[in-house]
């Protein structure tokens, strides 16, 4: 029986390679996660979303899977994983695993076999003859999300295979019913081991347009043609739900480029029996998860986007996040030049996100206000950044200064610097040199320092998470924006069965005047949460201080 537990849950994302090194080899691992379970419990979160820990050659840091039923050697063993799961469940924490099934690694046994034209696994992937006299031109003009052509030529079989990401990540052919059954079997394998749900990676890519027609390439080399939510997407997801998800008290969330508030009901309404929730990226100011072009933040537009998701029927559960492994750190993106008010700004963002009708996701380090890193070109390790640099150097060398500037804002590497636990060697992440550059500001920004200060960002997250737990007004209440076009203030009302919450946040590093709106009426008020110790006990006409945030209970 599905309890829909995720409607009253806060989920913490762990990127295992960068979370904590338990064996001293410089790489985060499962033993490291086990050592921090009490810390995770102390946050008050209900579940952990764990980025991939399966066997992988690591072309895309684990999102290229070579064995779905085993654990990557660098991270530990299946027994370590079981110990971790038992430790989470003993602490009341559920586990949501990453499900990466649009593609596999080219080192997966299925793909190795598929190179043989006569193999039963040939149709597990999307192989096509090329164009031109000798078939040496790609079957169509599709481009990879990691820049460049989406096709790779295989000399052995004389055909091309499709990869919407790295050439080492060949796309699975979901039109093959055997592939769909394999995916269901993989899900059930992990469910039977005790997993509580899945985050489904680029899941809206699984159904390709019939005939694989040419796309409208926006720009040679870095053009994008995504073909999301293809003709059989809903059919495939409903089938997977029936064969797997619906059999367990599970939660599924899809990385769902192409799902918008306009069509979300077709994808996540409880009655359609597909996914439970989805991640959208429109509020992040990007077109899709791996979009590298920075956009200027506009609070009025941001609120309008979030409001559209909030107005979905109660049978559709939204999500909200500010950071993840594919996105840079949130502070510079949303609040601009926070200068010496980093923690106040972090508290403002936490307040505005945690009290909407949504399942909130917090990414490791977000709770202490970790920041982007001032990388040099040689510091970037992620395939997206390195591929962009390679192609710019090859085709447009004069644009390299601009490319470097863009990556300092948008590279995925920013989210993958090691977790900053202490001000000691390697930020307490490892006893040896970490696999990736540690942000030099770990001396000032770390968990140990936050633990020692009652007014820290970490302790504010704990208070806010504890406050939202179990409150019907947050789980089910109506959402209405106050001053939706205001470019400085994010304010909204939550109301349910006579109970009312008023959330008021100044997004600016400057004082901003707030005038009480006519629709905000009450007889009594209680200040439930604030990032200033002397905030007003009730909302009124006032000047909000820099990044001031408050939550009021109203009667």
The CATH number that applies at residue 200 is 3.20.20.80
Distance CA 38, CA 419 (A): 16
Note whether residue 221 is domain-resident: yes
Distance CA 203, CA 230 (A): 11
**What string of pLDDT tens digits covers the 555 residues of the chain?**
899 999 999 999 999 999 999 999 999 999 999 999 999 999 999 999 999 999 999 999 999 999 999 999 999 999 999 999 999 999 999 999 999 999 999 999 999 999 999 999 999 999 999 999 888 899 998 888 887 889 999 998 999 999 999 999 999 999 999 999 999 999 999 999 999 999 999 999 999 989 998 877 654 443 344 578 999 999 999 999 999 999 999 999 999 988 999 999 999 999 999 999 999 888 887 655 455 566 789 999 999 999 999 999 999 999 999 999 999 999 989 998 898 999 999 999 999 999 999 999 999 999 999 999 999 999 999 888 998 898 899 999 999 999 999 898 889 999 999 999 999 999 999 999 999 999 999 999 999 999 999 999 999 999 999 999 999 999 999 999 999 999 999 999 999 999 999 999 999 999 999 999 988 989 999 999 999 999 999 999 999 999 999 999 999
Q: What is the per-residue pLDDT for 454? A: 97
Q: What is the DSSP letter of 51?
A: P
Task: Give the 3-state secondary structure of residue 11.
Answer: strand
Q: What is the per-residue pLDDT for 539? A: 97
What does the angle CA 496 – CA 497 – CA 503 come to, to the nearest 5 degrees?
30
Note whether residue 417 is domain-resident: no
Q: List the one residue out of 439, 375, 436, 435 whose CA is nearest residue 411.
A: 375
Distance CA 153, CA 130 (A): 8
Note whether residue 403 is domain-resident: no
Dihedral class, residue 548 (left if φ above 0, else alpha if ψ from -120 to 50, else beta):
beta
If asked whether residues 334 and 190 sit together in one domain, one would say: yes
Could you count the other beta carbons within 10 Å of the beta carbon of residue 509?
17
Distance CA 18, CA 413 (A): 11
Note whether residue 380 is domain-resident: no
Q: What is the DSSP letter of 439?
A: P
pTM of this structure: 0.95
If asked whether residues 40 and 133 sit together in one domain, one would say: no
Note whether residue 315 is domain-resident: yes
Task: Give the 3-state secondary structure of residue 204.
Answer: helix
- B/e letters for 385-407, b = 16+ CB within 10 Å, e = fewer, are bbbbbeebeeeeeeeeeebbebb
- The count of structural domains within the chain is 3
CB 328 within 8 A of CB 415: yes
If asked whether residues 195 and 328 sit together in one domain, one would say: yes
Maximal C-alpha separation, the chain: 80
Could you count the other beta carbons within 10 Å of the beta carbon of residue 419?
25
Note whether residue 391 is domain-resident: no
DSSP 100-156: --SB--TTSHHHHHHTSTTSTTGGGB-EEPPBSTTS-B-SS--B-TTSSBSEEEETT
If asked whether residues 81 and 225 sit together in one domain, one would say: yes
The pair phi, psi for residue 209, each rounded to 5°, is: -60, 140
The parent domain of residue 120 ranges over 109-162
Helices within 292-373 (DSSP H only): 299-310, 330-335, 342-354
Q: What is the per-residue pLDDT for 284? A: 84
If asked whether residues 157 and 191 sit together in one domain, one would say: no
If asked whether residues 131 and 96 sit together in one domain, one would say: no
If asked whether residues 70 and 143 sit together in one domain, one would say: no
If asked whether residues 329 and 296 sit together in one domain, one would say: yes
Q: What is the per-residue pLDDT for 74? A: 97
Q: What is the per-residue pLDDT for 288? A: 53
CB 199 within 8 A of CB 97: yes
Q: What is the per-residue pLDDT for 118? A: 96
Could you count the other beta carbons within 10 Å of the beta carbon of residue 147?
19
If asked whether residues 185 and 317 sit together in one domain, one would say: yes
If asked whether residues 325 and 362 sit together in one domain, one would say: yes
DSSP 461-530: HHHHHHHHTT-HHHHT-EEEEESTT-SSEEEEEEEETTEEEEEEEE-SSS-EEE---TT---S-EEEEEE
Could you count the other beta carbons within 10 Å of the beta carbon of residue 376?
9
Distance CA 98, CA 63 (A): 9
Distance CA 304, CA 310 (A): 10
Distance CA 463, CA 152 (A): 51
CATH code of the domain covering residue 527: 2.60.40.1180
Task: Give the 3-state secondary structure of residue 432.
Answer: coil
If asked whether residues 21 and 139 sit together in one domain, one would say: no
Note whether residue 507 is domain-resident: yes
Question: Of how many residues is the chain composed?
Answer: 555
- Active-site residues: which are they? 201, 255
If asked whether residues 35 and 93 sit together in one domain, one would say: yes
Note whether residue 406 is domain-resident: no
Terminal Cα-to-Cα distance of the chain (whole angstroms):
36
Distance CA 57, CA 76 (A): 15
């Amino acid at each position: 029986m599905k309890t829909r537990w995720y409607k009253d849950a806060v989920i913490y994302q762990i990127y295992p390679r960068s979370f904590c090194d338990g064996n001293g080899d410089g790489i985060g691992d499962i033993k490291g996660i086990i050592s921090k379970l009490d810390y995770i419990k102390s946050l008050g979160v209900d579940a952990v979303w764990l980025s991939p820990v399966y066997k992988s050659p690591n072309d895309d840091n684990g999102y290229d899977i070579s064995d779905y039923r085993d654990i990557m050697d660098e991270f530990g063993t299946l027994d370590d994983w079981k110990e971790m799961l038992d430790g989470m469940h003993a602490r009341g924490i559920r586990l949501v695993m990453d499900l990466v099934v649009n593609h596999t690694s080219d080192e997966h046994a299925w793909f190795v076999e598929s190179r043989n034209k006569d193999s039963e696994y040939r149709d597990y992937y999307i192989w096509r003859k090329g164009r031109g006299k000798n078939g040496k031109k790609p079957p169509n003009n599709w481009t990879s999300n990691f820049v460049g052509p989406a096709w790779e030529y295989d000399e052995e079989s004389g055909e091309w295979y499709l990869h919407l990401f790295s050439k080492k990540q060949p796309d699975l052919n979901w039109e093959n019913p055997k592939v769909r059954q394999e995916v269901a079997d993989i899900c059930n394998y992990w469910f039977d081991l005790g997993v509580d749900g899945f985050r489904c990676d680029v899941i809206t890519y699984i159904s390709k347009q019939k005939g694989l027609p040419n796309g409208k390439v926006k720009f040679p080399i870095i053009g994008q043609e995504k073909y999301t939510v293809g003709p059989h997407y809903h059919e495939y997801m409903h089938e997977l739900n029936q064969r797997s998800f619906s059999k367990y008290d599970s939660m599924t969330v899809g990385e769902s480029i192409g799902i918008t508030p306009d069509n979300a009901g077709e994808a996540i309404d409880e009655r359609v029996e597909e996914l439970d929730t989805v991640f959208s990226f429109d509020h992040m100011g990007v077109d899709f998860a791996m979009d590298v072009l920075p956009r200027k933040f506009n609070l009025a537009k941001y609120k309008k986007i979030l409001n559209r998701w909030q107005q979905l029927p109660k049978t559709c559960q939204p999500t909200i996040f500010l950071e993840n492994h594919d996105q840079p750190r949130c502070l510079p993106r949303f609040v601009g030049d926070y200068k010496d008010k980093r923690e106040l700004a972090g508290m403002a963002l936490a307040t505005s996100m945690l009290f909407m009708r949504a399942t909130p996701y917090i990414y490791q380090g977000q709770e202490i206000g970790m920041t982007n890193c001032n990388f040099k070109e040689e510091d970037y390790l992620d395939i997206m950044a390195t591929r962009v640099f390679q192609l710019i150097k090859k085709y447009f060398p004069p644009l390299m200064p601009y490319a470097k500037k863009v990556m300092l804002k948008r590279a995925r590497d920013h989210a993958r610097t090691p977790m900053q636990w202490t001000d000691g060697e390697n930020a307490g992440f490892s006893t040896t040199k970490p696999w990736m550059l540690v942000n030099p500001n770990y001396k000032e920004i770390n968990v140990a320092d936050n633990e020692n200060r009652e007014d820290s960002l970490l302790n504010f997250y704990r208070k806010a998470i504890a406050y939202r737990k179990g409150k019907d007004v947050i789980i089910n209440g109506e959402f209405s924006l106050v001053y939706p076009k205001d470019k400085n203030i994010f304010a909204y009302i939550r109301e349910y069965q006579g109970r009312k919450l008023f959330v008021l946040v100044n997004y600016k590093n400057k004082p901003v005047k707030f005038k009480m709106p006519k629709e905000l009426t009450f007889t009594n008020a209680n200040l439930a949460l604030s990032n200033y110790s002397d905030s007003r006990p009730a909302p009124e006409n006032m000047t909000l201080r820099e990044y001031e945030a408050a939550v009021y209970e109203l009667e």
